[in-house]
Amino acid sequence: MSIRERLSGNEAVAYAMKQINPDVMGAFPITPSTEIPQYFAQYVADGLVDTEYVTVESEHSSMSTCIGAQAAGGRAVTATSSCGLALMFELLYVASSSRLPVTLACVNRALTGPININNDHSDSMGARDAGWIQIYAETNQEAYDNFLQAMPIGEHPDVRLPVMICQDGFITSHGVENIELLEDEIVKDFVGEYQPENYLLKHENPLAVGPYDVTNYYMEHKIQQAEAMKAAKPVILKIAEAFEKVSGRKYGFFESYRMEDAETALVLIGSSAGTARAAVDKLRAQGKKVGMVKLRVFRPFPMEELAAALAGCKAIAVMDKAESFSAAGGPLFAETRSALYDLDTRPKAINYVYGLGGRDFTVDTAETVFAALDEIVATGKTGEVYRHIGQRSE
Amino acid sequence: MSFKAAEIHETSPWQKMTIGGEIYEGGTSRLTMTGEWRTKTPVFDAEKCKHCMLCVPFCPDSSIPVVGKERLDFDLDHCKGCGICEKVCPFGAISFGKEGE
């Protein structure tokens, strides 16, 4: 029996952590992720978990704590946002290259500057090449479900990679919604025990972690990481399948919404999907063949699968909630358009950077984008590829 | 993929290396000749040495072997040529020459 509750995204993730009962939490507050260590501290104080709750002096240290704990043979979690993730930057690479499956709850917030506490994806998108699996949620339910799947994915012997479970700051993290929680026993069974083959506290087996690599060895270890990221793809689907069995909720690399006969579509990540879905329904009611693809797994990037999902479209708009300052489009656009290149007939593709620093994304905005796609289909001309929407302009 | 350090070398394919470069045993520095960085080489004069053992703990590596109460000639496989031993020797039993001389 699942438990019906109403929780914010932060509460949902803290509750998932409580059910998992990790060995160590590296705890440091930063808006809007602060509530996660805050709620969890209460669980610790109430004796509901056995976790060693380490209050550190910075995010550099919280990730270092997680790396040490995970290398020792424990399960380590942390939560952060924005500048906190940026301060972890070096350690993100240490965790992934040391192949330590740390789990990080990333509550997405704009990365300074100008300083801003609201949502966009510039923090985690900046860390996209750090070798972490990245899974994004639309809702509190998805944040909870994704967090429960993180450890079985990251700890899988074919994978051994850290996992970042992302949700939109404030919109998802502080918005209270209905949620279905799994019972503690089901979570314990599903997540299981962490059983690494080698770990520092295994006294019969001396171990060194993270040694220096000279040129003759470095590239081979980076290829191991790249292969692990490829191997994560089938593991993510397998874990999603197992999760569906215990929860009844189905997950994949992305969600295709009304894409069967769609001629135009939006591709996006996170909470904006709810808004885009409303726009799709409205336009469908007017007889327009529109759809949406909501990406869940950004790392590993589901290149072939995404291309196949978009192959039938005439034009698509990739919505980036992060600037990349490439002067050529945002990160999701670059990868999505690259995925389309291998198709024999490709949809035309444009990019919209939107929603920066918490700028609203409305049904009207989504309709404006679909109208721009109609124009491209009608004229056969793509026009400007790299666009912004939602900003004031003369 | 649990390989011993001695099984991994500069022509090992990535499939035959440990995950993340983990090392599953101790004492592996014996397998790695780090003395090749050296630009100056210590020369040991056994006749001047009084076996006071001052140089031994000052060596930042472990390049001065001791057997019984006797200090032996340098282990050049790991000596980096830092010169500390020459400075601390009270008897002038250690001198430095350029590598290859």
Residue A62 neighbours by CB under 8 Å, 6+ apart: A26, A27, A28, A54, A56, A78, A80, A88
**Average pLDDT in the A103-113 region?**
96
Strand partners, A320: A353
Cα distances (Å, whole numbers) of residue A54 to A47, A76, A290, B41 = 15, 11, 49, 48
State residue B100's pLDDT score. Answer: 61
3-state secondary structure at position A41 = helix
Asked if A210's CB is within 8 angstroms of B20's CB, the reply is: yes
Q: What percent of chain A has pLDDT over 90?
A: 98
**Predicted TM-score (pTM) above 0.80:** yes
What CATH topology corresponds to A254-388? Rossmann fold (3.40.50)
Q: Please indicate if any CB of chain B lies within 8 Å of the CB of A327.
A: no
Rounded CA-CA distance A49/A20 in Å is 9
Residue B8, min C-alpha distance to chain A (Å): 10
Cβ-nearest to B22 among A208, A219, A223: A208
Rounded CA-CA distance A322/A297 in Å is 16
- Residue B98: pLDDT band (50, 70, 90) is confident
Rounded CA-CA distance A365/A276 in Å is 9
Which chain B residue has the Cα nearest residue A202? B24
Structural domain spans, chain A: 3-247, 254-388
Strand partners, A27: A55
Closest by CA position to A208, among listed B65, B66, B18: B18
State residue B36's pLDDT score. Answer: 86
Which chain B residue has the Cα nearest residue A228? B19
Structural domain spans, chain B: 1-32, 38-101
Q: Please indicate if any CB of chain B lies within 8 Å of the CB of A160.
A: yes
Percentages (nearest 5) of helix, strand, coil residues in chain A: 40, 20, 40
Tell me which chain B residues have a C-beta less than 8 angstroms from the C-beta of A197. Answer: 2
C-beta separation of A84 from A33 below 8 A: yes
Residue A103, min C-alpha distance to chain B (Å): 18
Cβ-nearest to B21 among A198, A211, A227: A211
Closest by CA position to A329, among listed A386, A382, A383, A373: A386
Residue A211, min C-alpha distance to chain B (Å): 7
Cβ-nearest to B14 among A197, A198, A220: A220
Rounded CA-CA distance A323/A318 in Å is 13
Which chain B residue has the Cα nearest residue A161? B20
State residue A191's pLDDT score. Answer: 98
Residue whose token pair is 């289909």: A377
Asked if A217's CB is within 8 angstroms of B23's CB, the reply is: no
pLDDT digits (tens, 9 = 90+) for A364-380: 999 999 999 999 999 99
Q: Which residues of A110-126 are buried (b: 16+ CB within 10 A; e: fewer)?
A: bbeeeebbbbbbbbbbb
- Residue B54: pLDDT band (50, 70, 90) is very high
State residue B1's pLDDT score. Answer: 59
Asked if A220's CB is within 8 angstroms of B23's CB, the reply is: no
C-beta separation of A10 from A174 below 8 A: yes
- Residue A205: pLDDT band (50, 70, 90) is confident
Tell me which chain A residues have a C-beta less than 8 angstroms from the C-beta of B26. Answer: 206
pLDDT greater than 80 at residue A125: yes
pLDDT greater than 80 at residue B33: yes
Interface probe with A: pick from B23, B34, B37, most Cβ of A within 10 Å? B23
Interface subset of A 209-248, CB within 8 angstroms of B: 209-211, 213, 216-217, 219-221, 223-224, 227
Closest by CA position to A321, among listed A390, A251, A252: A390
- Domain boundaries B38-101, corresponding CATH code: 3.30.70.20
Q: Is the peptide bond before A32 cis (omega within 30 degrees of 0)?
A: yes
- Residue B99: pLDDT band (50, 70, 90) is low
Q: CB contacts < 8 Å between A and B, how many? A: 49
What CATH topology corresponds to A3-247? Rossmann fold (3.40.50)
Tell me which chain A residues have a C-beta less than 8 angstroms from the C-beta of B24. Answer: 198, 205-207
- Residue A3: pLDDT band (50, 70, 90) is very high
CA atoms within 13 A on the CB side of B94: 26
State residue A203's pLDDT score. Answer: 87
Residue B18, min C-alpha distance to chain A (Å): 8
Asked if B10's CB is within 8 angstroms of A224's CB, the reply is: no
Q: What is the mean pLDDT of chain A?
A: 97
Interface probe with B: pick from A67, A224, A230, most Cβ of B within 10 Å? A224
Which chain A residue has the Cα nearest residue B20? A98
Tell me which chain A residues have a C-beta less than 8 angstroms from the C-beta of B13. Answer: 220
Closest by CA position to A126, among listed A268, A302, A325: A325
State residue B97's pLDDT score. Answer: 83
pLDDT greater than 90 at residue B14: yes
pLDDT digits (tens, 9 = 90+) for A49-98: 999 999 999 999 999 999 999 999 999 999 999 999 999 999 999 999 99
Q: Where are the alpha helices (DSSP H) in chain B?
A: 55-58, 84-88
Residue B68, min C-alpha distance to chain A (Å): 29
C-beta separation of A17 from A25 below 8 A: yes
Rounded CA-CA distance A385/A318 in Å is 10
pLDDT digits (tens, 9 = 90+) for A212-252: 999 999 999 999 999 999 999 999 999 999 999 999 999 99
Rounded CA-CA distance A270/A366 in Å is 14
Tell me which chain A residues have a C-beta less than 8 angstroms from the C-beta of B7. Answer: none
Closest by CA position to A268, among listed A353, A342, A327: A353
Rounded CA-CA distance A111/A347 in Å is 32
pLDDT digits (tens, 9 = 90+) for A281-334: 999 999 999 999 999 999 999 999 999 999 999 999 999 999 999 999 999 999
